[in-house]
Each structure stands twice: as structure tokens, then as C-alpha cells.
Structure 1
């Protein structure tokens, strides 16, 4: 278990009270489990919503062999901080069936949703069968939700012959249409990994979609009200709803779910005491809108997000958190030459407890493929031509001792078939992960696939000037692409295939998606090759 970092001494009760007076109508919820001033009024009611409460769709997540989390939120007026619901608790019925028409319902029940969590439902359904497709829906009053499709994980001893997964990240809504999500939904994967930047916290009044200039989209999200409204804005998109409804999701967050390039209790020049209140607001809204279990419920500004999910003996997913426990970025952030600060062994991207948790879990894994689901590239990213080197301080390059401990630990412990899946860069990158990136003969111990963004960066191009520099200066890098899209993977016991799906345009609503390149990793061979 990773211990939670203690808030800095400046985060006193008086400080907390001061910030709660200025952070919006729902702000106190992020720091306590009860809504102030509701009292007995939040008792269970038999009243019915007068309008469709399922405007934000449905989702499922974190599959187990016998269960899955089902999610929805009652929000007849989704851009209202409370979704247009009153401050009462409502019964919501749920059903799970083996067929899309619900002719064979295998599980059903009722959950209570209330204002303290924005009328969100997180139903941890158990008693299902391993490696089965199921369908689910919700009812509230006279309204029925859209139908979602989900799938349980295989049993622990099962080596399934094949599974499919998709991974994606970075979906700034004002930058484009969710064409990639539409394609992802049509392929009905067994599971989807979303690796961060589900929303963007900063405001933008130069978007390409209708309504992007509305006031709630142009200001920065700081309060719980703001973050709830921002999630609702994103979740109203029909292609994103379809992607959620097509398969169970396993999610982790990155920086923009809170604020750009935050690190532990640090966020630019904002005093830590002030930032931790904002972080609590952001994490609370994140949990409310994702298909996560109760153990992931934030406790103030802290959220246990790193976790493992097994898919029998075929794959094990180690989902990482590279934000809450990291040391602050070296050298004032940005892109700089590596130096003693970036190589300092006392600094960590994951925090030392999570580093141990990761290596110990990889060592004990019985799975054929050991998958890291996380936020940003492990690979060396030299961004300048010639003999000089400049790397991003926010990626693993800014914490090279952490990277050395991870890759060195994989080699020393004999861990096989490690595949790193990441996002953040707004470009596709395929790399061999070697013990020494500066030595072309160094041993390759893992493979990395970095997926591009869903929309962030707008249309992009096949290979931009920055991408060409990356390919020229980083011989361990096998592929680069600057289009928008996602990655669809097919996994068997002997072969991993990653299909880089790219959009021709995201600045128009009717773009097309095609396969740009497919890369393969063979069982027992860390180096990647084009299929």
C-alpha cells in the first residue's frame, strides 16, 4: 500500500475554511462527505425527475472476473452544478442481462443517489461469470437510460486465446470532434484504457464547436461547480457516450483533470494550501464522473488511483499515478538539457512506495503480458538536432533515476513481456525501452506505445518537423506520427499487435479514420517490429 503524502503544514483548518468561502456552491463537498445545510431533506424520495435524467449516458469500468462497476449520473440539466436535480436522494434501478434486449436479466437491484456526489451512481455489480459479454441499463422514475455493453475479465487461471483493447488520451473538446471515439466504439473492444486529460481545466474561447464561446467554457475550472460543469460539457458528446457504452473503461488521470503540469502539492506559483483545495475539487469531480469503485473515492485532496487489474494469465494491467506522488519538475519545468537535477536519485516520478509496488507486482505477475497503463512517455525524447540534448522536464526524462530504477529492475528481476502504454505527447511514438538509450547496443527490456491525442492539437499531419527531429535524434524510436486518433490492440499469448488508428481531420464533424501503421511484439522478444 502506498502511503498518502501529508498536506503541507500551511494547509490548516483556518486555511480550508477561508478557501471554502470562495470556491462555489458545491465546494465543501470535495473536503467532506456531506452537503451542508441539507439535513433531513436528503432522505429517500419517491419523486420523479420531470425530464430525462440520463443526458450524460452510461459507462462501466474496472472489470473483474465476477463483476464490473456501472456508472451513470442523474442530470436533466447537465450544465447546472447539481445537474438540475434537487437536494434529495433518489432510487435508481439497474439491470444486467446477457442480451441487448434484456430477455435474460441476470442481476438487478436499486441504488440510492444523492446530492453529496452529484447524483452519480457507482454500482459494483458482483456475481457475474468470467469473460462474458453483458448489457446494462438504469431506470429512474419513468425514464430508461441508454444500454451499455460491458465484459468481465477472465478467471485468474484462464489463458484466453485472444483479447482486444484500445487506449486513448487527451481530448480537448474545443480542438475537434470525437471522430476517434466513434471509430473506437464501432470496434467493440474487450476493454478501453483512458490514460489522462479527459477534460482540460483552462478556458478557451476560440473553439471550433458550436457553444465553445459560452461563458462556462471560457473560464478556468477551479471550484467543484466548475469541474462538474466541465465534465458535463464533455460527456454530452454523443461519440464519447458511445465509446463509454461500447466497452468497460479503465481510467487514470493526468494533469489537465486538475491543472497543467501539477506535481504533488505543487502547481506553478499557487501556494500549496490553496492548490490542495482546488485539487480536492478536481479529484472529487473526476471520481463522480468515472466508472470507479469506492476505494478510489478521494479523501480530500488524496485519491488512491494506482491499482492492478488482471485478465487471467494473458495480461495484467498496472495502472500508474505519475501526478500525486511526484517531486516537482526539475529546472523550472519546460524542455531543458538533462543535468544533475533530472538524474537525482532522491527524486521520483511515482514516489518511492509506488515504485516498489510496481516492481514487486511485475515480479509476482503470472501473466504473459505485463502492461503499464500511465500518463506519459518513459522513452528518451531528445527534441533538438545535433549534439545538444533537450528533454521535457514533465516526462520520465525529467526523472531519469526513476526510469533507471524501473528498467533496471525489470532487467534484474527477469520480468518478461513488459509493454508500456502512455499518452500526453499529442503524437504517436513507438520505442524500444533500453537500459541505456545512449548506447545502441544496450539491452532492450520493454516496449512502449505512446498514443496520440483524440483531438488535442487539432488535425495535425503525418510527420511534422518536431516528429522528424525525434526520429532522427532517438534511434530507439521506431515510429512517429502527428495525426489525431487512438490505438487498437489485439493480444494473443504469442503476439501483441498495436494498430495506430488516425483521423484525416477532427476539425470537421464527418472525418474518417484509417489504420496508419501496425506494430508487433513477440512473446519473449522485447524489441518491436512493424507488422
Structure 2
């Protein structure tokens, strides 16, 4: 058992978390037995299971032109402690083939699933051919997993004809069925992007609006590692979510609910009443639990193994020279939301140059990645809306402080930098707010006489908020107040995109009813961006 009392005291004595102490605390929390391909102690090569150990399915992710990550987690009883697994190292065999019947096995190997990482498996397969579909499966203790399908990206120097992908976010298990994934799994896609809120940390709620109940504590949000593991496992038992993971490689990033609503770095949303502030050391312990469970359940590379409460998630993914995606993390490094995290005018606090949503290191990495890109489309896959939407009617002005307007100086500086460097065809993909938006982005969206710099496609939730509304109240007022907004809708679904060297097309797929199984889906609206021409038009 680690003795962290002295380190906690040092963290608390500073009244916050310095970078030095933050990293030291993270290193202490990470001082567990080595994880990954090396495992110490006995390895069970023929374990016995009381039930199918592959109840959570299989997944793949973060493809390159020569490789991909294959994932599974052993959990014969997924909602029990440790998933029903004994605290022992277990050998798992993996196979990758050319065909779904797994007759032509091209690569195979073994990996050790450790109890330290919840018996999750992350296999990084390399030496594959570019722009190819493959099939894979796992075997352990006489059990065989479902066969998954994955692919590599086109060769980095090539220019493929088309890329087809979907992006989604915000899937509250209690508030609806994952019918959107039932439809997405039938689409002809190359990739799926998930932009955050994969799980929700809230306690089980006894309300009429609950479609199905969360597991976990009834008297508060989940906090322990076991809590977060079980919540992820419950979500992953959904057959439609499993199917979509099974059919396409995913690229994931988080928002807030994977840990705690509207958190900012080491600052929690709900502060204790009175003069005593929340303890950042305790909060970071909880963050370490959340981050570890997230890594365990996602098809991420071993370079993302968390170091205590620190997990580097921002990264690049290229699809030949057609598109390059910069996957961002707008939660882990941000400063506290200004104006008490309440909708506000763009006052001195909101425009403070010290506010950051990316953090200095990630911001520098992003600029470097955009400068080096040779792709036709340059995409930011991220969480919160960049469009500076005035949410108040009339002369008063109100902007969301949890979104990029709360960090308006950094946002406008980034847009100006993209404009000055003439970054080709910038597009922003966004989740978070349980509604659909299409925005033309300027350096300052309040100045409509200035050039459009980028397009932003904001996707609605899979289920969060329950069934939305087709025609939001005061929609005309919202559009009149914000002429840069080209579309707004509050139903549920996802966004399906198809891009070529000449055009980007986004289809807004709407599920009619997330409260009943088998609901139909249709395309509510489609929008196009022409390469070399800033601005969105309706298809």
C-alpha cells in the first residue's frame, strides 16, 4: 500500500497543485507493478472461466498505414468486482486475418492481461499493408471472442479518393437507447470518432425519465476505480455499441463526464459550501481512477497508459494526404472557467489572456502539427463549441464559459494563426452540448464583415437529454442573433461525413425516438464545404 500522506500534505500546503507536485503525485500513484507486455509472477495460460470472458466484445482503434490497436477486456461477470476475474496474470492469444472466417491468419501472438489494468488487452499490430481491411479475434481459456473488423489507413504519401467516417458523443445510458449505433453499424464507414462523454458519472436516478438504470452507488457520483470500471463495463454491454466497435476502428477522446462534470484540470465543478475549498489532492486521486478506467476500456496505444492522474490523449491521425486529424483534450490542461462557469458576456474575465483551454504544451504541439501537415483537409477533433454563440435575446449578450468563448483570447489567437498561416481547409468537429450546429468560424464571430476562416460541425448526443425537439423554441431569435450559425437542431443522432479532395459533406442523421427500441433514422440536413473555399453551404 502506497503511503501518500506526506505528498498529499505538500500538495495541500500550496493551496493548489504545482506542476512539480502534480507530476510527483502522479508518479507515486503510478508506482504499481509494471504493466503491458511484461508481467511479473505466474501467468495462467489455461484459465478456467465460469462464463464467456468476452462479454465486453472487441474493438480496434488509432490506425496508421502500417498498424492498428486491437482491444478486449476479460470479464466473465462484467458488473461484478474485477469483472469476475481472479487477481492473476492471464495469457491471451490474438489473431489477425485477411478474411472474416479467419482462415488466412496473417499475424498472431500472445499478450498478458494483468489485474493491474483490469485484465484489459491492448495489442499494437504492425507490419500491415496500407489501406486494407482486416479481421481479428482473441482466445483465452478455451473461449473465443467475436470476430472484429478493422483497417489500416492509406499510405501517408498517397491521396485516396474518399474518406467516410462518423462522429458521435454524449451517450447517457439512463436517458435513452443506443439506437444511433444500431444505424451507424450499418453505414459504409472507414472510421468512427468519439468526441467525449462516453460514460456519465452520475448516481442511479429514480425518475420517470430513466429508461434503464446505472449500476453503482446510489448516494453520489462514482469515485473509485472499481466504480469507473463497472460503469464503463455496463455501457459496453450494450449490443449496438459493441457492434459499432466491432465493425470499425475508433478514434476516441474524452470530455468531462468520463471523470466529473465541467471539471477544469484539478478543479471540480461542485465546491464545498463555505470558505473551505475542495481538496485538489483528493480530486486528483479520483481523476487517476477515472483516467485508468478510461484507458483500460478504450483501444488506445500503450503510450497512453496513465501516469497517476496524467494521461496524454492529444495526438494526430492521417488518412493519406486527404485528411489529417488533430485529436484534442480540452479538459485536462484548462484553467478554471471564468465568471463562475455561468453564461456571461465577454467581459474582462472571459477575455483574460491567461485563460487557456489547451494548455501551453498542447497548444504548441497543435501549431506544429498544423504547420507540418500536407493534407487537403485539416481537422480538429475536439469537445466544446468554438462558435461564439450569443445565447441571450436582445441587447444583452451571454456566452457559454465552459466552451471556447470562456477562453476567447486563446480561441481568437488560434483562429488568427490559422488564417495567417493559410492552413488548408480547416474543419472543427465538436460534441458536448446535446444539439446539432453548423457554424462558419471567423477570428471573432461577432465581426461578420471579416473573412470566414473555418467550418465547425457540432454533433448532437446519442441519448443525453432524452428525446430532443425538432424545432427548438426561439430558434429564429438564435439565428438572428448569430448569423454565422447555419443550422441548429436538438434531436438525437450522429453526424456522417464523406470527404474528397474537392468537397466535404456532413449528413446530420437523426434518430426519431431514443426511448423505444428499433426507432428509424433519417438525414435531417446536409452541408457542404468546397475545398479551397471557406464557408458552409446547405446541400
Tell me the TM-score normalised to structure 1 length: 0.92
Once the two structures are TM-superposed, the CA of residue 155 in structure 1 deviates from its matched residue by 0.8
* 2:225 equivalent to 1:224: yes
506, 514, 536: which is aligned to 1:528? 536
Q: 1:8 to 1:314 in 2, by over 3 A?
A: farther
Q: 1:91 to 1:417 in 2, by over 3 A?
A: same
335, 340, 346: which is aligned to 2:348? 340
Distance in 1, matches of 2:327 and 2:9, equals 30
Distance in 1, matches of 2:510 and 2:28, equals 40
* 2:240 equivalent to 1:239: yes
Once the two structures are TM-superposed, the CA of residue 30 in structure 1 deviates from its matched residue by 6.0
Distance in 2, matches of 1:64 and 1:300, equals 28
Q: 1:235 to 1:134 in 2, by over 3 A?
A: same
SS of residue in 2 equivalent to 1:63: coil
Distance in 2, matches of 1:348 and 1:469, equals 30
* 2:531 equivalent to 1:508: no
Q: Please, which moves more after superposition, 293-302 or 349-358?
A: 349-358
1:30–1:281 Cα contact (<8 Å) kept: no
SS of residue in 2 equivalent to 1:430: strand
Q: Deviations over 1:42-82 (max 9, x none)?
A: 54443232310000011000001010000000000101231
SS of residue in 1 equivalent to 2:518: coil
* 2:84 equivalent to 1:84: yes
Q: Deviations over 1:420-449 (max 9, x none)?
A: 001001000000001221222111010000
Distance in 2, matches of 1:443 and 1:194, equals 30
Distance in 2, matches of 1:285 and 1:214, equals 15
328, 332, 335: which is aligned to 1:327? 335
* 2:36 equivalent to 1:32: no
Once the two structures are TM-superposed, the CA of residue 218 in structure 1 deviates from its matched residue by 6.8
Once the two structures are TM-superposed, the CA of residue 133 in structure 1 deviates from its matched residue by 0.7
Once the two structures are TM-superposed, the CA of residue 506 in structure 1 deviates from its matched residue by 0.2
1:174–1:206 Cα contact (<8 Å) kept: no
Q: 1:200 to 1:62 in 2, by over 3 A?
A: same
487, 490, 515: which is aligned to 1:482? 490
1:383–1:466 Cα contact (<8 Å) kept: no
Q: Please, which moves more after superposition, 340-349 or 68-77?
A: 340-349
Structure 2's unaligned 5+ residue stretches are 1-6, 16-26, 272-277
Q: 1:514 to 1:199 in 2, by over 3 A?
A: same
Q: Deviations over 1:485-506 (max 9, x none)?
A: 0000001111100000001000
1:10–1:272 Cα contact (<8 Å) kept: no
Distance in 1, matches of 2:214 and 2:333, equals 35
2:203–2:214 Cα contact (<8 Å) kept: no
Aligned position for 1:133: 133
Aligned position for 1:473: 481
Aligned position for 2:109: 109
Q: 1:113 to 1:188 in 2, by over 3 A?
A: farther
Aligned position for 2:454: 446
Once the two structures are TM-superposed, the CA of residue 467 in structure 1 deviates from its matched residue by 4.5
Distance in 2, matches of 1:217 and 1:60, equals 33
Aligned position for 1:394: 402
Distance in 2, matches of 1:44 and 1:368, equals 49
Distance in 2, matches of 1:325 and 1:110, equals 36
Once the two structures are TM-superposed, the CA of residue 359 in structure 1 deviates from its matched residue by 1.7
SS of residue in 1 equivalent to 2:63: strand
Q: Deviations over 1:340-370 (max 9, x none)?
A: 1110112111012211211221122000000
2:345–2:398 Cα contact (<8 Å) kept: yes
Q: Deviations over 1:130-163 (max 9, x none)?
A: 0111111111122111111111111111100011
1:350-365 to 2 correspondence within 5 Å?
350-365=358-373
User: What's the RMSD between the two structures over aligned residues?
Assistant: 2.2
Distance in 1, matches of 2:66 and 2:218, equals 40
Once the two structures are TM-superposed, the CA of residue 216 in structure 1 deviates from its matched residue by 4.5
* 2:382 equivalent to 1:382: no
Distance in 2, matches of 1:211 and 1:453, equals 17
Q: Deviations over 1:505-530 (max 9, x none)?
A: 00111211110011000110110001
Once the two structures are TM-superposed, the CA of residue 217 in structure 1 deviates from its matched residue by 6.7
Aligned position for 1:25: none
* 2:289 equivalent to 1:296: no
1:111–1:123 Cα contact (<8 Å) kept: yes
1:41–1:87 Cα contact (<8 Å) kept: no
Number of positions where the alignment pairs a residue of Structure 1 with one of Structure 2: 511
Distance in 2, matches of 1:8 and 1:47, equals 40
Once the two structures are TM-superposed, the CA of residue 402 in structure 1 deviates from its matched residue by 1.1
Aligned position for 1:260: 261
Once the two structures are TM-superposed, the CA of residue 279 in structure 1 deviates from its matched residue by 0.4
Once the two structures are TM-superposed, the CA of residue 40 in structure 1 deviates from its matched residue by 7.3
Aligned position for 1:22: none
1:48–1:140 Cα contact (<8 Å) kept: no
SS of residue in 1 equivalent to 2:364: helix
2:43–2:112 Cα contact (<8 Å) kept: no
Tell me the TM-score normalised to structure 2 length: 0.91
SS of residue in 2 equivalent to 1:240: helix
Distance in 2, matches of 1:487 and 1:66, equals 28
Aligned position for 2:380: 372
2:215–2:231 Cα contact (<8 Å) kept: no
Structure 1's unaligned 5+ residue stretches are 1-6, 16-27
Q: 1:8 to 1:397 in 2, by over 3 A?
A: farther
* 2:132 equivalent to 1:124: no
Aligned position for 2:441: 433
